[in-house]
Amino acid sequence: MKTASKLEKILSQGHFVVSGEVGPPKHANAEEIIEHTVMLKDYVDALNLTDNQTAIVRLSSIAAGVHVLQAGGEPIIQMTTRDRNRIALQSDLLGAYSLGIKNVLCLSGDHQSFGNHPAAKNVYDVDSLQLIKIVKDLRDEKRFSCGEELKSNEPRFFIGAAANPFADPFEFRVIRLEKKINAGADFIQTQAIFDMDRFERFMAMVRERDLHKKAHIIAGVMPIKSARAARYMQKSVAGMIVPEAIINRIEQASDPKAEGVAICVEQIKHLKTIEGVAGVHIMAVMWEDIIPTIVREAGLYPRPQL
Amino acid sequence: MIIAESKPLAEIAALIKNARKILLVGCGGCVSVCLAGGEKETGILASELRMLRQVEGNPLETIEVTLTRQCDPEYVEMLANHLTEDIDCIVSLACGVGVQFLAERYQKWVVPALNTKFAGGTVEHGVWEERCGLCGECILYKTGGICPIIRCSKSILNGPCGGSQNGKCEINPDTPCAWQLIYDRLQALDKLDLLLELEPLKDWSQSRDGGPRKVVREDVKLD
Ligand code: SF4
């Protein structure tokens, strides 16, 4: 074990992990985060806290992570390189670790033009791969990105990264994943999977390169509430592929929500059979209370106790 | 070259609203090539401003001079003869460099008539595109001659990010993804191995983040 992360422990014991996601609110009250944590902590092994997702200002992911921790959950804080330079990123890593957070997911983040502050200046002093390396060097080399030594109490994060098998160029996605793993990623969470064929092809390339043995690959799923939501993701969300067949199924269902859950459960059951998939990451933002149902129906309840 | 475009006429008019006589200074350099601030544009702007003020019943007197370059003290000096006491304001149609060179040299209020946009080139008649991020330490030899610093919306050095789809950047379906372009070019030239190594952190102190930069060539200095 490289870290004291519970997530690392569960993964290294070979359990099929389940992670969930909580989007921090657009205000300064943590009640919702705490409620979601209490509701979900027996159904997921860890909870992602998004970092100003889609570039909309929200309660900070680190603060949200602390609320999750206090409510008994295992937080994975997301950290984008959009809003902070290497000084702020490293400072926040030290701060987050001092508050008990053990998992970080390194991202480049959505461009600010998507959010509610499109006139903001982005930072991108470093990119997501470089951030992975920064977190790893703090932990394993005990040095800051400038090379200066970190004399004691280095932050020992379990390092996550994202992979998007649905972005282009497809052939390069696995190579980029390998770059992330070489840079120091311990676990990977993928973009929400709807095009299972493409994901299967991606995983075949992952196995060819033995990447699933070098990092834990957690497959992203997203329950869909309505055909309209599916259509929106198909048309307007960058880096997503939603096949017509899925939209048709929801469109034709008498109960679209139930159909969305059924599709998600089927996907999880299928993902469990793919060699190299170490777990699922359920992204049900604005629909967090469906997660227990999905976890139960997918046969993933109860969760392993440490 | 530096690409610039004219500010809206109303904005320029507001900038000089208290002046009765102005000196409009065009530039024969980059902004002349990109049709924003050359001799012709200077003449047009002068007459537009005069007409506007005529209609308002507050006539404006203009003098127009176009210098070979405004980013060169030698040429800036040539303005001295034209700068009579009664001129209230100088309107520079150069890039931001020219505006500042004029302001540094003359005790007059100088306002810009252009918005200075970027370092780029002509891609078709009437269309100019950004190409160089002026980062101070060129990495184009690693990226097949395509600059990710300015052409990638996130300036990432280990791209493409997860938002790249069908060759387009996540920010806009009309914006090509720089990293897809880089990938395609390296593939065509059989140099994809360049993308296998992690590109380390960039030294932005060479860029604008290090404060105003200066290039000194001892070998061509006169003293
Ligand atoms: S899609 Fe391409 S150009 Fe746009 S931010 Fe991502 S890597 Fe950069």
Q: Is B217 contained in some domain?
A: no
pLDDT above 70 as % of chain A: 100
Query: Would you state the pLDDT for residue B223?
Result: 76
Nearest atom in ligand 1 to B163's CA: 1
The two structure tokens encoding residue A238: 């960058």
Number of domain units in chain B: 2
Q: DSSP labels for A177-204? A: HHHHHHHT-SEEEEEEP--HHHHHHHHH
What DSSP character marks residue B209?
A: G
Which of B54, B53, B36 minimizes the C-alpha distance to B44? B36
B177 lines ligand 1 (CB under 6 A): yes
CA B155 / ligand 1 centre spacing (Å): 8
Which of B89, B12, B88 minimizes the C-alpha distance to B48? B12
Strand ordering across the sheet containing B89-92: B61-67, B21-27, B89-92, B109-112
B24 and B50 housed in the same domain: yes
User: What average pLDDT does range B211-218 have in this prediction?
Assistant: 93
Contact between chains at A108 and B154 (C-beta distance less than 8 A): yes
Contact between chains at A167 and B161 (C-beta distance less than 8 A): yes
Strands B89-92, B21-27: pairing kind: parallel
Indicate if the pLDDT at residue A173 is higher than 90.
Answer: yes
B219 contact partners, CB below 8 Å, separation of at least 6: none
B24 and B107 housed in the same domain: yes
B139 and B109 housed in the same domain: no
User: What average pLDDT does range A87-93 have in this prediction?
Assistant: 98
Query: Would you state the pLDDT for residue A184?
Result: 98
Q: How far apart are CA B22 and CA A152, in angstroms?
A: 65
Q: Is B88 contained in some domain?
A: yes
| Cβ contacts of A191 on chain B, cutoff 8 Å | 162
Q: How confident is the model at residue A285 (pLDDT cuts 50, 70, 90)?
A: confident
Q: Is B49 contained in some domain?
A: yes
- Identify the three-state secondary structure at position A94: helix
| Cβ contacts of B159 on chain A, cutoff 8 Å | 127
Q: Is B179 contained in some domain?
A: yes
Range of the domain at B158: 133-201
User: What average pLDDT does range A290-305 have in this prediction?
Assistant: 97
Instruction: Look at phi and psi of residue A194 and say left if phi exceeds 0, alpha if psi is from -120 to 50, else beta.
Output: alpha
Mean pLDDT of chain A: 97
Contact between chains at A110 and B163 (C-beta distance less than 8 A): yes
Q: What's B93's domain CATH number?
A: 3.40.50.2300
B30 and B113 housed in the same domain: yes
Q: What is the pLDDT of residues A201-216, one digit of tens each?
A: 999 999 999 999 999 9
User: What average pLDDT does range B13-20 have in this prediction?
Assistant: 98
User: What average pLDDT does range A188-209 have in this prediction?
Assistant: 98
Q: A170-183 and A196-208 are packed helices; what angle lies between their axes, rounded to 10 degrees?
A: 50
In degrees, rounded to 5, the angle at the alpha carbon of residue A48 between the alpha carbons of residues B197 and A156 is: 60
B5 lines ligand 1 (CB under 6 A): no
Q: Is B208 contained in some domain?
A: no
Which of B195, B156, B198 minimizes the C-alpha distance to B177? B156
CA A111 / ligand 1 centre spacing (Å): 9
Query: Would you state the pLDDT for residue B23?
Result: 98
B52 and B107 housed in the same domain: yes
Alpha-carbon distance values, A249 to A103, A243, A254, B53, B139 (Å): 36, 10, 10, 66, 49
Of B118, B147, B174, the residue that ends a domain is: B118
Mean pLDDT of chain B: 97
Q: Is B220 contained in some domain?
A: no
Indicate if the pLDDT at residue B211 is higher than 90.
Answer: no
Q: How confident is the model at residue B58 (pLDDT cuts 50, 70, 90)?
A: very high
Q: Say yes or no: A124 contacts chain B, CB-CB below 8 A.
A: yes
B77 and B164 housed in the same domain: no
Q: Which of B143, B149, B158, B169 to mutate to test the pocket of ligand 1 (most atoms within 8 A of CB)?
A: B169
Tokens 């003293």 sit on residue: B223
Q: Say yes or no: A179 contacts chain B, CB-CB below 8 A.
A: yes
Per-domain boundaries in chain A: 6-297
Size (chain A), residues: 306
B178 lines ligand 1 (CB under 6 A): yes
B161 lines ligand 1 (CB under 6 A): yes
Tokens 């209609």 sit on residue: B55
User: What pairs with residue A22 in β-bridges?
Assistant: A49
Of B118, B143, B174, the residue that ends a domain is: B118
| Cβ contacts of A167 on chain B, cutoff 8 Å | 160-165
Nearest to B170 among A130, A145, A239 (CB): A239
Top-level CATH class of A6-297? Answer: alpha beta
CA B203 / ligand 1 centre spacing (Å): 21
Q: What is the pLDDT of residues A6-32, one digit of tens each?
A: 999 999 999 999 999 999 999 999 999
B142 and B103 housed in the same domain: no
Q: Say yes or no: A84 contacts chain B, CB-CB below 8 A.
A: no
Query: Would you state the pLDDT for residue B87?
Result: 98
Indicate if the pLDDT at residue B147 is higher than 80.
Answer: yes
Contact between chains at A130 and B157 (C-beta distance less than 8 A): yes
In degrees, rounded to 5, the angle at the alpha carbon of residue A189 between the alpha carbons of residues A185 and A192 is: 155
Q: What is the pLDDT of residues A112-168, one digit of tens each?
A: 999 999 999 999 999 999 999 999 999 999 999 999 999 999 999 999 999 999 999
Q: How far apart are CA A161 and CA B161, in angstroms?
A: 12
Indicate if the pLDDT at residue A238 is higher than 90.
Answer: no
Contact between chains at A175 and B196 (C-beta distance less than 8 A): yes
B148 and B82 housed in the same domain: no
B62 lines ligand 1 (CB under 6 A): no
Radius of gyration of chain B measured on its C-alpha atoms: 22
pLDDT above 90 as % of chain A: 98
User: What average pLDDT does range B128-151 have in this prediction?
Assistant: 97
User: What average pLDDT does range B1-30 have in this prediction?
Assistant: 98
Q: How confident is the model at residue B208 (pLDDT cuts 50, 70, 90)?
A: confident
